[in-house]
Amino acid sequence: MWHASVAYHGRNPTLLTPEHRLRAEKALRGVGVTDPDGNWTEYGKLAVHRRRRLTLAEQQQFRVVVCDVRGTGKVDELLAPVRHLLPPGYTE
């Protein structure tokens, strides 16, 4: 997964704007899939996080196997060791 984060620098970190999202998108230009299902944005307390899945060509280039485990029993298995670190009520 490609990941770009853009944070607000100043006294009030709650002033994240659409420009922060656009900067994160610009950082990922030219990499990853372009379809909406392969891109998502998360707004944190201090930064905007933009994530994008690798293309098939990138997976082959970097020799990685990508498997979407959302909605499967594998999610619980993978989250079990770190579940205590997640926010209360977190669900996948």
Report pLDDT digits (tens) over 12-23: 666 788 899 999
Domain check: are 45 and 61 in the same one?
Answer: no
Domain check: are 38 and 59 in the same one?
Answer: no
Position 56 pLDDT exceeds 90: yes
**Strand pairing partners for 41?**
50
Domain check: are 43 and 60 in the same one?
Answer: no
Terminal alpha carbon distance of the chain = 17
Domain ranges, residue 92: 55-92
Q: Output the six-digit token pair for 27.
A: 């950082």
User: Residue 32: its pLDDT value, please?
Assistant: 95
User: Residue 85: its pLDDT value, please?
Assistant: 92
Domain check: are 2 and 45 in the same one?
Answer: yes
Domain count, the chain: 2
Helical H segments across 3-88, by residue range = 18-27, 56-62, 74-79
Q: What pTM did the predictor assign? A: 0.71
